Amino acid sequence: MRLTFWGAARQVTGSMHLVEANGARVLLDCGLMQGHRAEAKARNAQLPFESNHIHAVLVSHAHLDHCGNLPTLVKSGFTRDIVGTHATNDLTRIMLLDAAKIQEQDAAYWNKKRVPRGEEPIAPLYTRADADAAIRSLTGRAYEKWFDVPGARLRAQFLDAGHILGSAITVLEAQENGQTLRLGFSGDLGVKGKLILRDPAPVPPLDYLIIEGTYGDRLHALPRDSESELAQLIEETAERDGKTIIPAFALDRTQEVVYSIHRSISNGMLAPLPVFADSPLAMDATEIYRMHPEVFDHETVAFMEKYEDPFGFRQLTYTRDVEASKAINLVEGAAVIISANGMVEAGRILHHVKNNIEDPRNTILFVGYQAENTLGRRILDGIKRVRIFGEEYTVRARIERVDGFSAHADRKGLLDWVRPIASQLKGVFVVHAEERAADALVQGLRELGIENASAPAHGQQVTLN
Ligand SMILES: [Zn+2]
């Protein structure tokens, strides 16, 4: 078996690993490399292999950095099956169509400037038609059941990764030279006790493991504490007659925050108040969450028996069209506005931040990681003036954060997960981590007795036997 790391190698974006075994070539993930740098554009557009030589793709989950470059793969000649869990496939559909729409809009925006200047128009990375073609290749599998990888003499299995709806740990099994070899891929590994989803499945027996290491050097607050912190900050803001503005990604974090507020209102921790979830993509993602209660944890199922819909309650309004979104500005008094994107880089959240950041009664409440060089990070770091849509605003609102909503296992979670099979692993590869986190996790794995632990470089190839 041979493994090549074609993405998320010593960085947290563009997940893609090529496995060659028994004469077949299988991709684990085909993610978009995110960011504005020319390097990201070039890597997304130019795949490092012949697409029509790939026999199958196994997708770990529907975040774009894991599935978002599937349309490029299909556009460049891949014609076979893309396999994910049923919930992953349903989410992948809306994520790919939304990504294609944004690619088309971006290209149109630039071409409006370029064409009059006599410059060559730029093409979107892919179009909605390309996304549609990729969507038609999706094929679903259930958790835990072994299946034959289409077009390859390999078996595979998805286990619940507890990261977002449908997310999977992937196990690939090859019979080579009379021996069985098992390679595991954690995908993005979730957090124990996270709302809505079940805990990550225990690590299965494996020979080799590719593990994510996003938080390989950090520990998180507990998910349970986050719910009461969130309720308390909303309550304090409401007592000042203020609005709580929550930047949240449309997929997973919005559903989690909505459900958390619903729980707090229904158990009396939070007085009922108007709540707006303002994002069309979040509405679509919520619909798909509602379609898959079979993957919810016991607590959520019990909650549903009492209150039916975790993602809907009397005071909650989802807004899809622009007019309804604008009308939120006219709401008087205390309210909560949840909107995307989660790092205040684009989308409707910019309008809500702009409209509310100068009023000291309000709170901008961060519930997710804020990457460097994003507006969210600058606000969180305490800058006093922000520029949004060309205008300057003074930050007078309270700026707060709640840490425990992470969808990724922390250092302890990752090491505890690997520990039961540490003595039998022949090698572990750390991916999906910045340099520091990757090196720290490699060190932690070695302390578990796994000598052959490393964080491979982009394009590095290893032979497994
Ligand atoms: Zn993810």
Mean pLDDT of 253-281: 97
Q: Which of 34-43, 164-173, 403-412 has the lowest mean pLDDT?
A: 34-43
pLDDT at residue 314 above 80?
A: yes
Q: Which amino acid is residue 401, in one-letter code?
A: R
The pLDDT tens digits of the residues spanning 341-376 come to 999 988 999 999 999 999 999 999 999 988 878 899
DSSP per position, 166-219: T-EEEEEEEEETTEEEEEEE--S---TT-SSBPPPPPPPP-SEEEEE-TBTT--
Calculate how far, in angstroms, residue 44's C-alpha sits from the geometric centre of ligand 1: 18
Mean pLDDT of 176-191: 95
pLDDT at residue 254 above 80?
A: yes
What pLDDT does residue 371 have?
Answer: 81
Calculate how far, in angstroms, residue 213's C-alpha sits from the geometric centre of ligand 1: 12
Calculate how far, in angstroms, residue 190's C-alpha sits from the geometric centre of ligand 1: 9
Calculate how far, in angstroms, residue 346's C-alpha sits from the geometric centre of ligand 1: 19
DSSP state of 149: P
The pLDDT tens digits of the residues spanning 282-311 come to 999 999 999 999 999 999 999 999 999 999
| φ/ψ (deg, to 5) at 218 | -140, 155
Calculate how far, in angstroms, residue 168's C-alpha sits from the geometric centre of ligand 1: 10
Calculate how far, in angstroms, residue 214's C-alpha sits from the geometric centre of ligand 1: 10
Fold (CATH) for 2-218+407-463: Metallo-beta-lactamase; Chain A (3.60.15)
- Distance from C-alpha of 222 to C-alpha of 69, rounded to nearest angstrom: 33
pLDDT at residue 392 above 90?
A: yes
What radius of gyration do the chain's Cα atoms show?
22
pTM for the model: 0.95
Q: Are 276 and 319 in contact (CB under 8 A)?
A: yes
Calculate how far, in angstroms, residue 406's C-alpha sits from the geometric centre of ligand 1: 10
**Residue that has been written with the tokens 């997929």 in this structure:** 251
Calculate how far, in angstroms, residue 60's C-alpha sits from the geometric centre of ligand 1: 9
Query: Around Cβ 460, how many Cβ atoms within 10 Å?
Result: 15
In sequence order, the β-bridge partners of residue 209 are 184, 428
- Distance from C-alpha of 115 to C-alpha of 282, rounded to nearest angstrom: 34
What pLDDT does residue 343 have?
Answer: 93
Q: Which of 101-110, 199-208, 407-416 has the lowest mean pLDDT?
A: 101-110
Calculate how far, in angstroms, residue 96's C-alpha sits from the geometric centre of ligand 1: 15
Calculate how far, in angstroms, residue 272's C-alpha sits from the geometric centre of ligand 1: 32
Calculate how far, in angstroms, residue 392's C-alpha sits from the geometric centre of ligand 1: 34
- Distance from C-alpha of 47 to C-alpha of 375, rounded to nearest angstrom: 31
Q: Are 88 and 61 in contact (CB under 8 A)?
A: yes
- Our CA angle for 400, 402, 408, nearest 5°, is 140
- Distance from C-alpha of 27 to C-alpha of 21, rounded to nearest angstrom: 11
Calculate how far, in angstroms, residue 113's C-alpha sits from the geometric centre of ligand 1: 35
What pLDDT does residue 464 have?
Answer: 96
What pLDDT does residue 220 have?
Answer: 87
Calculate how far, in angstroms, residue 191's C-alpha sits from the geometric centre of ligand 1: 12
Calculate how far, in angstroms, residue 61's C-alpha sits from the geometric centre of ligand 1: 7
- Our CA angle for 291, 140, 83, nearest 5°, is 135
- Distance from C-alpha of 446 to C-alpha of 326, rounded to nearest angstrom: 54
What pLDDT does residue 224 have?
Answer: 73
Residue 320: name the closest of 353, 282, 280 by CA.
280
Calculate how far, in angstroms, residue 66's C-alpha sits from the geometric centre of ligand 1: 7
pLDDT at residue 223 above 80?
A: no
For 382, residues 6+ apart whose C-beta sits below 8 A from its C-beta are 399
Domain locations in the chain as residue ranges: 2-218+407-463, 223-401
Task: Tell me the pLDDT of the chain averaged across its residues.
Answer: 96
What pLDDT does residue 386 have?
Answer: 95
Tell me the CATH architecture of domain 223-401: 3-Layer(aba) Sandwich (3.40)
What pLDDT does residue 216 have?
Answer: 96
What pLDDT does residue 373 have?
Answer: 82
Calculate how far, in angstroms, residue 430's C-alpha sits from the geometric centre of ligand 1: 15
Calculate how far, in angstroms, residue 314's C-alpha sits from the geometric centre of ligand 1: 31
Calculate how far, in angstroms, residue 97's C-alpha sits from the geometric centre of ligand 1: 18
Q: How confident is the model at residue 1 (pLDDT cuts 50, 70, 90)?
A: very high
Calculate how far, in angstroms, residue 59's C-alpha sits from the geometric centre of ligand 1: 11
Q: Are 336 and 273 in contact (CB under 8 A)?
A: yes
Torsion of CA 230, 281, 157, 130, to 10 degrees: -160
Half-sphere exposure of 462 (CA within 13 A, CB side): 20
What pLDDT does residue 126 have?
Answer: 97
Mean pLDDT of 18-29: 96
Calculate how far, in angstroms, residue 235's C-alpha sits from the geometric centre of ligand 1: 31
Calculate how far, in angstroms, residue 463's C-alpha sits from the geometric centre of ligand 1: 27
Calculate how far, in angstroms, residue 426's C-alpha sits from the geometric centre of ligand 1: 26
Calculate how far, in angstroms, residue 391's C-alpha sits from the geometric centre of ligand 1: 34
Mean pLDDT of 51-76: 98
For 414, residues 6+ apart whose C-beta sits below 8 A from its C-beta are 189, 211, 212, 213, 215, 216, 441, 444
Task: Tell me the three state secondary structure of residue 333.
Answer: coil
Calculate how far, in angstroms, residue 58's C-alpha sits from the geometric centre of ligand 1: 15
**Residue that has been written with the tokens 């088309």 in this structure:** 104
What pLDDT does residue 35 have?
Answer: 75
What pLDDT does residue 372 have?
Answer: 77
Calculate how far, in angstroms, residue 88's C-alpha sits from the geometric centre of ligand 1: 11
What pLDDT does residue 406 have?
Answer: 87
Q: How confident is the model at residue 387 (pLDDT cuts 50, 70, 90)?
A: very high
Calculate how far, in angstroms, residue 237's C-alpha sits from the geometric centre of ligand 1: 31
Calculate how far, in angstroms, residue 185's C-alpha sits from the geometric centre of ligand 1: 13
The pLDDT tens digits of the residues spanning 111-149 come to 999 999 999 999 999 999 999 999 999 999 999 999 999
